[in-house]
Amino acid sequence: MIAAGGVLSGVLTPLAPQLIDRISGGPGDFRIALVAVPFAVLVFFVVRRCSANPGWAALAAAVITMVAFVCAVNAAIWIDGQTNGADKIMRNILTGVAGGFVGAGVMALGIALLPAGPRETIAWLQMLLAGTLAGALLAVDNALNLDLTSVLYPVWQAAVAVRLAMALQRRKFF
């Protein structure tokens, strides 16, 4: 169910800018954060259902998700600028990997610091790896000239949401 929620939020994510563009004003990073609302809602429910965190922590995880999205977009833009002379496909792969890494990394770090977040590094490294590898799908989106649809978002959000749920449910047995 979590993977299906990730696919659904990933389908809604590229459609969000169409709605957000109708809102006038607001700084750019805030508008970028609003694009992450569908995935943030999923993260809210995953943290609420799969962990012993209080309700406020699930809300904090949703906000962390929106911040992670802004950081991922900014990292991808920065990497794109740094690889200006490279082949377009290689640039898109590097940009996607960087964005996927930063997005999953900020989420993992922020959610791990919540009261009931697991402190085991391996639980979060698996989420980080899934987000980083799925980020490379940005090259597929660009190769297919996808605008209102995406391969990246449904796969990335499903993979990260599933790994998040698995990280939150991990128990240490002695």
Residue with tokens 């006038």: 24
Model confidence over 119-128: pLDDT tens digits? 778 889 999 9
Q: Give Dmax (Cα) for the chain.
A: 55
Number of H helices, E strands in the chain: 9, 0
Give the H or E element holding residue 25: none
Q: Which of 6, 50, 54, 57 is nearest to 168 (CA)?
A: 50
CA distances from 26 to 40, 62, 68 (A): 19, 20, 19
Which pTM value belongs to this model?
A: 0.88
* Pairwise pLDDT comparison (20 vs 57), residue with the higher score: 57
